[in-house]
Amino acid sequence: MKSYDGCWTCRLRKKRCDEIRPVCRNCSTLQITCHFGDEKPSWMDGGFGQKEKAEEIKQNVKSAAARRRGTLPTDILEPIAAELDKDAGMATGGLNRQSASTKCPPFHGEPALDSSPGWPSTRTRPSTKTTPSDAHRDSWNRLDMLSLNNSADEKPGDSELDRRFMMFYFDQFFPFLFPFYKPPLLEGGRSWIIELVVGNQAMWHTTLCLSTYFVSVAMDGAISGHIVCKTLAWEKLLKQMGVTFMMLQHNLQEVASSNTLDLIVKISRIMGSIIQLQRFEISVGNFENCRKHLGAAITLFRQIFRAAENVLDRGELSTLYHVLSHMGRPLWAITSQQGGAWNSDQAAFRFYSALLIADDIVASTCMEEPPRLLEYHARLLTNGGSLDERPPLNLEDFIGCENWVMLQIGEIVALDAWKKSRKKAGQLDMMELVARASAIKQTLLDNLARLDAAATTPKTNSLGLFTFYNDHFPPMPGGCTAFVTRVWAHAALLYLSVVVSGWQPRSVEVRENVVRILALLEQMPAPELLRTMVWPFCMTGCLAEPGEECRFRAMADALVPHRLFGAARKALEVMENVWKCRDELTIDTDFAACVCSLGYMSLLV
- Provide mean pLDDT across the span 169-174: 85
Using the predicted structure, report yes or no on whether residue 547 has a pLDDT greater than 80: yes
CA distances from 436 to 22, 431, 496 (A): 40, 9, 11
Residue 372's pLDDT is 93
How far separated are the first and last CA of the chain, in Å rounded?
Answer: 41
Using the predicted structure, report yes or no on whether residue 266 has a pLDDT greater than 50: yes
Confidence class of residue 243 from pLDDT cuts 50, 70 and 90?
low
Residue 356's pLDDT is 96
Comparing 402 with 224, the larger pLDDT belongs to 402
pLDDT digits 0-9 by tens, 524-535: 888 888 989 999
- What backbone phi and psi angles, to 5 degrees, belong to 371? -55, 135
Using the predicted structure, report yes or no on whether residue 431 has a pLDDT greater than 70: yes
Residue 457's pLDDT is 63
Comparing 315 with 407, the larger pLDDT belongs to 407
Residue 508's pLDDT is 93
- Provide mean pLDDT across the span 211-226: 65
Using the predicted structure, report yes or no on whether residue 15 has a pLDDT greater than 50: yes
> What element of type H or E holds 306?
helix 290-312
Comparing 105 with 236, the larger pLDDT belongs to 236
Comparing 527 with 464, the larger pLDDT belongs to 527
Beta-carbon contacts of 560 under 8 Å, excluding residues fewer than 6 positions away, are: none
> What element of type H or E holds 340?
strand 339-341
Comparing 269 with 446, the larger pLDDT belongs to 446
pLDDT digits 0-9 by tens, 309-358: 777 665 567 788 888 888 877 776 655 445 567 888 899 999 999 999 99
DSSP assignment of 346-357: HHHHHHHHHHHH
Residue 475's pLDDT is 57
Confidence class of residue 252 from pLDDT cuts 50, 70 and 90?
low
pLDDT digits 0-9 by tens, 107-155: 233 332 232 222 222 223 333 344 444 333 343 344 344 443 444 444 4
Amino acid making up residue 326: H
CB-based contact 86:116 (threshold 8 Å): yes
Please state, in angstroms and rounded to a whole number, the distance separating the CA atoms of residues 378 and 391: 9
Beta-carbon contacts of 220 under 8 Å, excluding residues fewer than 6 positions away, are: 230, 561, 563
Residue 318's pLDDT is 77
Residue 128's pLDDT is 37
Confidence class of residue 214 from pLDDT cuts 50, 70 and 90?
confident
Nearest to 441 by CA among 400, 484, 498: 498
Please state, in angstroms and rounded to a whole number, the distance separating the CA atoms of residues 191 and 110: 34
Residue 161's pLDDT is 76
Q: CB neighbours (10 Å) of residue 139? A: 16
Residue 183's pLDDT is 84
- Provide mean pLDDT across the span 498-504: 93
Using the predicted structure, report yes or no on whether residue 70 has a pLDDT greater than 50: no
Nearest to 436 by CA among 371, 488, 499, 486: 499
The answer to whether the predicted template modeling score (pTM) of the entire model surpasses 0.85 is no
Mean pLDDT taken over the chain: 74
Residue 517's pLDDT is 95
> What element of type H or E holds 297?
helix 290-312
Residue 112's pLDDT is 29
- Provide mean pLDDT across the span 387-404: 88
Using the predicted structure, report yes or no on whether residue 449 has a pLDDT greater than 80: yes
- Provide mean pLDDT across the span 553-568: 87
Percent of the chain residues topping a pLDDT of 90: 27
Confidence class of residue 371 from pLDDT cuts 50, 70 and 90?
very high
- Provide mean pLDDT across the span 397-405: 94
CB-based contact 489:447 (threshold 8 Å): yes
- Provide mean pLDDT across the span 66-87: 37
